Amino acid sequence: MSTASTDPLIGRLLDDRYVIRSRIARGGMATVYVATDKRLERRVAIKVMHGHLADDNAFKKRFDQEARSAARLAHPNVVNVFDQGQDSELAYLVMEYLPGITLRDLLKTQGALTPEQTLEISEAVLSGLSAAHSEHIVHRDMKPENILLADDGRIKLGDFGLARAASANTTTGQALLGTIAYLSPELVTKGIADERSDIYAFGIVMYEMITGVQPFTGEQPMQIAYQHANDDVPLPSLVSQNSSPELDALVRWATQRDPAKRPPDAKTLLDEVRHVRSGASFATTRMHTSILPQAEYPITGATTVIPNGTTIMPEAEQPVVAAPPVAGSIETVRHTAAKRRVRGTWTFFGIALLTVALVTGGWWFGGGPGSMVTVADVREQPVADATATLEDLTLTVAVEECSSLDIPIGNVTTVTPEPGTRVARDSGVTLCVSTGPRSLAVPPLVGTTLDEAKAAIDSAGFVFGEVLEERFDSEVPAGVLLAALDRDGNELPPELNEQSIINAIVSAGPLPYVNGLSVEDATKLITSSGLTYDSSLDIESYSSDVDKGKVLQLVGITEPMRKGDPIGLETSQGPELFAVPDVSGQTIREAIETLTAAGFAPTTKVVERVAGVDVWSIATVKSTNPAAGEKLEKGTTIELKSAD
């Protein structure tokens, strides 16, 4: 089964303009697809709202307003919004498509980032967020999933306005955990947010970039919400050596529980990030005096596992006093303590209300639709068995196709979310089912050098096997491929399965030229060329052109001739000699015919005709020079001497 067969939107045309090509991701509020804009002939990303949100008129109205607000943001660090519309039951948003990964992906693979990476990403994100805040747009969903790291190096902030548009709706379980980790205290206790709420959320993101972990965690949303409302975000340096006083100060300033003590907007925090990135020391940063005054700060010890049954209210830690209070400060301290008691009372009531809401919904989160289940490990199982197992857990299963070298066709290769993850009932789980290895195009290889062929084979997704043989070829230079074959020795088809082995037959260049050489020199050249000299193949032949004992040519050549094959030499015996015929007593004309037939060149000083008489037919031969019986090379001149 393919994505196209399980997702009805694949291949659909929205508003007679956008062709849905493939699904990128599915979230709590929407599914994101890659699409083609037919009108402008470009790839775009389309976020299609889930049906239960698209049917909500209040949501659609807010979504329309926020989409228009986001579209006003033209900034290099903000994902561009191109269009927004409604096609039948589908509400959608058309955005810039950025091939790459999210910050969440980077944190999963790398863990904690370097200070340089943290500051570079922070500057880019805050730059985009500053543009939004200047337009009075509050993001309200700052988290690593919404920070995009493009393949070309660009860093962009996405999903503007969606959190606000969805504020009238709620999610549960894991989806809520994914957002509540970045909620500001005022959102937890009062349900209100402004630009400073974005600053708090990004302070949590900075903490996570520096340390690789979130500052507050818990299995239930209430536990995390309580920590946001009651606990200060710890300094990153207490968790990671990656931090520095400057980074600690930035995080501490951005994550103050009191919104009034945070930077008022992204531009203010951006200026400080740039200040730190420029190389300013902690002592020269403006945060040092504005948000880190001389005061009492607790020393936090090593992380401790809290045993079961222990209350979640932490014991007060013993503070280290920076300096003794001066005269007149006691009343100030008492006044501050009183204000904290009042504020703590209201915070308590806020958390209590949140607790009541969660307890009242205990059935929802415990045994009802909102309860959590663990994603089973169904990898390598047949898709039918895996689907049945997950559906028994009240999970919704989607199936996609994936190529795999190792997993048999029809079995599950990957499960998303990862097996062992706790998710809400009715959550979606995507199974990637093996279609076997991918079929890849075979690159042109014949006529390339061996090194070029190896590189082409590797980059195309195949494996170079071996050079099966080196053949001598009079036209193809040494080292160039004559043929590329599969592992069974067959010619390659246009496509092969990925990681298939490709072998090569390579030219050894022309056979060595040994004509006219001595036997010793010829055998050396044969050996250096990779051939095997076999004297049993040697023959001798007469030659009028090559001196006796010299090589005429190679013998024993087969087709094809490979390195290591045996070969012999044909050597010259010199010219072949023939006996001069005895023509004495013959007429000169008869003698000329006899010698010519024997391959010699007869000549005489006797005049052929005198006064019309044919002398050669009358005069007879007395002797020849050279004499009859001598062995001579054909073509030798023989002089005839007359008896008369």
Under 8 Å CB-to-CB from 488, ≥6 apart: which residues?
Answer: none
Q: What is the DSSP string of 485-506?
A: EETTSPBP-SEEETT-EEEEEE
Handedness of CA 258, 259, 264, 268 (dihedral sign): positive
Burial 34-61 (b: 16+ CB within 10 A, else e): bbbbeeeeeebbbbbbbeebbebeebbe
In this structure, the strands spanning 613-614 and 609-610 are antiparallel
Encoded amino acid at 106, one letter: L
Question: Under DSSP, is residue 558 helix (H, G, I), strand (E, B) or coil?
Answer: coil
d(CA 243, CA 124): 19
Cα–Cα distance for residue pair 636/644, rounded to 1 Å: 25
Question: What are the tokens at 638?
Answer: 């023989």
Dihedral sign for Cα 302, 306, 310, 313, please. Answer: positive
Three-state DSSP state, 266: helix
Catalytic annotation on 488? no
Distance between CA atoms of residues 242 and 22, nearest Å: 39
Write out the H or E segment, with its range, that includes residue 299. none
Partnered with residue 572 across adjacent β-strands are 541
Cross-sheet strand order for the sheet of 501-509: 463-472, 501-509, 481-486
Can you read off the two tokens belonging to residue 537?
Answer: 């193949």
Structure tokens at 457: 């084979």
Q: Quick count: other Cβ atoms within 10 Å of Cβ 203? A: 26
394-403 per-residue burial string, b: 16 or more CB within 10 A, e: under 16? ebebbbbbeb
The residue behind tokens 């082995």 is: 501
- Using H for helix, E for strand and C for coil, what is the string for 442-473? CCCCCCCEHHHHHHHHHHCCCEEEEEEEEEEC
Q: Which is catalytic among the residues 141, 248, 265, 473?
A: 141
The two most distant CA atoms of the chain are separated, in Å, by 165
Q: What is the set of active-site residues?
A: 141
